[in-house]
Amino acid sequence: MTTSEDPEPQAAFDATIARRDRIEPRDWMPDAYRKTLVRQIAQHAHSEIIGMQPEGAWIGSAPSLRRKAILLAKVQDEAGHGLYLYAACETLGVSRAELTDLLLAGRQKYSSIFNYPTPSYADVGTIGWLVDGAAICNQVPLCRTSYGPYGRAMIRICKEESFHQRQGYELLMTMMRGTEAQRAMVQESVNRFWWPVLMMFGPPDVQSPNSARSMAWGIKRNSNDELRQKFVDMTVPQADALGVTLPDPDLRWNEERGQHDFGEPDWEEFAAVVRGDGPCNAQRLRHRQAAHDDGAWVREAATAFAARAGAR
């Protein structure tokens, strides 16, 4: 990929975007397009990897062998998603090692939702149902994103995310059919996660200055507010079927709009979490740093092995 003052490659790029076709790694692309993609794909990859922590913490104390097998498979899937996405990002000319360094230095972000704690096993179900559910809303349109390697990674990821969402819902459904204490655990967990999950779609459109450009480039296909609305409309009937209340007094069906009205998340809390002042930001990065340090010998051994195989 080269940058050029020549108008021709820009015209070819614009035509590809206008056709809603894919841009591929060897195609010319504007520098700002490349930078936006690196930032977004890296943030997405980091979210998959950091996102293993809140649920991974429960693997050793899952309530049954069956639940442990499901949770283990789910958390391993998230590691795989991280790998596909780091690989997609490497096609833009940055290495996974550089991206990891940027994450650990706090110079690249991951989703704000993973800075919230998981004190109860019901949180495993709530994360599957609501967090993976919100991720699906965000990610299904990304299967049609304009950058080829990103779109293709998303197709695989979305298939697995729908399994994640169902296993979470099935866990909560089982708990809701259990004891009074189990039902209370589910409700308490949903109360804690509901608002942070709505924040996963990002700030309101009027405060999201980069969105319009990302939409024009076909990186994003829907606005934050559109996706948030879609998620609420999808989730309300699921909450009814489950028998839980969503903790929003303003949530109601609006006949005229044919959509739900709902309250405003606390955007100050969102800003604080993004800034690094959420309940678990420091813990998540510390844990990631320790895992990175502990894995140094694996990277060294793999590099030495590859060098020797290459020399043969």
Contact positions vs Fe ion (CB under 5 A): 48, 78, 81, 132, 161, 164
CB of residue 129 to Fe ion, shortest distance in Å: 11
Q: Toward Fe ion, which CB reaches closer, 23 or 135? A: 135
Query: Rounded distance, CA 155 to CA 128, Å?
Result: 19
Q: Which residue has the tokens 């309300």?
A: 236
H helices of the chain, in order, are: 7-18, 31-50, 52-56, 65-90, 96-104, 122-126, 132-139, 148-176, 180-199, 211-216, 224-242, 267-272, 281-294, 296-311
Dist. CA 122–CA 171, nearest whole Å: 8
Distance CA 199, CA 270 (A): 7
Q: Which is nearer to Fe ion, 162 or 259 (CB)?
A: 162
CB of residue 110 to Fe ion, shortest distance in Å: 12
Nearest distance, CB of residue 140 and Fe ion, angstroms: 13
Report the distance separating Cα 227 and Cα 215, nearest Å. 13
Closer residue to Fe ion, CB minimum distance, 13 or 84? 84
Q: Smallest distance, Å, CB 125 to Fe ion?
A: 13
23 and 17 Cβ atoms separated by less than 8 Å = yes
Q: Residue 162 or residue 245: which is nearer to Fe ion going by CB? A: 162
Q: Which is nearer to Fe ion, 16 or 111 (CB)?
A: 111
**Whether the Cβ atoms of residue 231 and residue 237 lie closer than 8 Å to each other:** no
User: What gap in Å lies between CA 14 and CA 61, rounded to an integer?
Assistant: 53
Q: Looking at beta carbons only, is 182 or 238 nearer to Fe ion?
A: 238
Give min distance, CB of 2 to Fe ion, in A. Answer: 33
- Shortest distance, position 111 Cβ to Fe ion, whole Å: 10
Distance, CA of 93 to CA of 88 (rounded, Å): 10
90 or 132, CB closer to Fe ion? 132
Burial of residue 207 (CB within 10 Å: 0-12, 13-18, 19+) is: exposed
Q: Which is nearer to Fe ion, 123 or 132 (CB)?
A: 132
CA atoms within 13 A on the CB side of 139: 26
Cβ burial, residue 125 (10 Å; 0-12/13-18/19+) = buried
Least CB distance to Fe ion at residue 183 (A) = 25
Minimum distance of Fe ion from residue 10's CB (angstroms) = 35
Spatial separation of the C-alpha atoms in residues 120 and 131, rounded to whole Å: 16
